[in-house]
Structure 1
Amino acid sequence: MVRGQPGTAQEGAEDAADFVFIPVTDAQGDDRNQRGTHWSLLLLDRRNRNSPIAYHYDSAGDYNAAAAERVARGVGARVIRMGMAQQQNNYDCGVFLLEAARTLIGQLTRGQPPRDLDNLVADRRVLQARLRS
């Protein structure tokens, strides 16, 4: 979460997060046969509490579009599909999700709005090395 600026009315409030990162999967509830095969990322923008926006970043096109819609509906947000680099295999969706979150956190902390991540580089080995250090 990226919280409101220090010194604002939101500081320290329970409902202070303007941005919330939500991993989305295509898993189906308690059904053990539907544990999910893909992860994508919703960035929930709550700066306007009356009209939140959920930016959806999916490294497999629209694969998780229905799941993202369900999650966004559950938090009262409308979904905007964002551009994102596409994975070239069937297993790096989690790497893409983590790199997307890292990139977006950097943008948001610099005061930039959420934007497309078409040029995102998601490298499993680089991520593993960063996590080890």
Structure 2
Amino acid sequence: MLGPRGRLDSQFIHHPRPSSAPDAQIGALATGASSSRDRSGRVLDAEQWLGDEHIQRDYELLAQELGRSDPNLATRTRFVDPLIAFQLSHGADSDALRAFHRLVDDRNGNDIADFLFLPVSDASPTDRARRGDHWSLLLIDRRDRERPVAYHYDSARGFNDRPAQRLAERLGANLHAASMRQQNNGYDCGVFVVDGTRALVGRLAVRRQVDLNLDNLVVDRRALQNRLRG
């Protein structure tokens, strides 16, 4: 387990890093899943599952926006690439530890990351044919380095409990279920992840004690499509 200062407390099995992160959404036969899809993350169809490239592109855009609007919060916040989140959960000790320090440390090796936003997938680390059925969101509050807290937001309640628990444990965080509006289709869980992230970041920018309830989250696929294209 990666402790609050990156300490490895237990050993875990090494699995090779996948060539791409899981294309994870509820509904294995949902429209738009295609191995030949655009990998830039700029193209998202009306009912297409979000892949790692869509989440990572929107996270990059959000990081840029936050850097302009609130540089202090931006310095203390990390929007984690789905590939890195997968590596932190399933990688070898040395790989996970290096990835962890690349996330939280500044150029001088000081741990300055208070908030981590990590996409969670149920993809198999051993079977590449099982690329995942669902995305959810893990927010880790590390303001108390000795007692980090993880909040799990799942738009299909209970579906990703096990992978979220594993990732939280690997990062030394105590896991709490957090409330989130539930999706009503088989393809929007990735939209819930990115829009949930944006909602929480907006609250962090306003006050120290954040309302963590996302029961009234408004998700907007069309707005996401426009952001990705832009």
TM-score, normalization by structure 1: 0.87
Q: Which has the higher helix share?
A: 2
| Secondary structure, aligned partner of 1:122 | coil
In the TM superposition, what is the alpha-carbon distance from 1:132 to its structure 2 partner? Answer: 3.1
The percentage of counterpart residues that share the same residue type is 51
Q: Does 1:87 align with 2:183?
A: yes
Q: C-alpha separation between the residues in 1 aligned to 2:197 and 2:217?
A: 11
Instruction: State the one-letter code of the partner of 2:199.
Output: T
Mapping for residues 28-47 of structure 1, pairs under 5 Å: 28-47=124-143
Q: C-alpha separation between the residues in 1 aligned to 2:132 and 2:153?
A: 17
Instruction: State the one-letter code of the partner of 1:18.
Output: D
Q: C-alpha separation between the residues in 2 aligned to 1:54 and 1:75?
A: 9
Instruction: State the one-letter code of the partner of 1:99.
Output: D
Instruction: State the one-letter code of the partner of 1:120.
Output: L
Instruction: State the one-letter code of the partner of 2:228.
Output: L
Quote the RMSD (CA, aligned, Å). Answer: 2.0
Q: C-alpha separation between the residues in 1 aligned to 2:123 and 2:211?
A: 26
Q: C-alpha separation between the residues in 2 aligned to 1:14 and 1:28?
A: 33
| Secondary structure, aligned partner of 1:17 | coil
Q: Does 1:130 align with 2:224?
A: no
Question: Which structure: larger Rg?
Answer: 2
The counterpart of 1:64, out of the listed 160, 164, 187, is 160
Q: Does 1:116 align with 2:216?
A: no
Paired residue for 2:147? 51
| Gap runs ≥5 in structure 1 | 5-9
Paired residue for 1:7? none
In the TM superposition, what is the alpha-carbon distance from 1:14 to its structure 2 partner? Answer: 3.1
Instruction: State the one-letter code of the partner of 2:225.
Output: Q
In the TM superposition, what is the alpha-carbon distance from 1:124 to its structure 2 partner? Answer: 1.1
Q: C-alpha separation between the residues in 1 aligned to 2:218 and 2:205?
A: 20
Q: Which has the higher strand share?
A: 1
Q: Does 1:17 align with 2:113?
A: yes
- Measured against aligned partners, the alpha-carbon deviations of 1:43-101 in whole angstroms (never above 9, x if no partner) come to 00001111110000101111101110000000011111111011111111110000000
Q: Does 1:77 align with 2:173?
A: yes
| Gap runs ≥5 in structure 2 | 1-62, 64-72, 77-104
| Secondary structure, aligned partner of 1:44 | strand
Q: C-alpha separation between the residues in 2 aligned to 1:33 and 1:132?
A: 29
Q: C-alpha separation between the residues in 2 aligned to 1:106 and 1:61?
A: 23
Larger displacement relative to structure 2 (23-32 or 93-102): 23-32
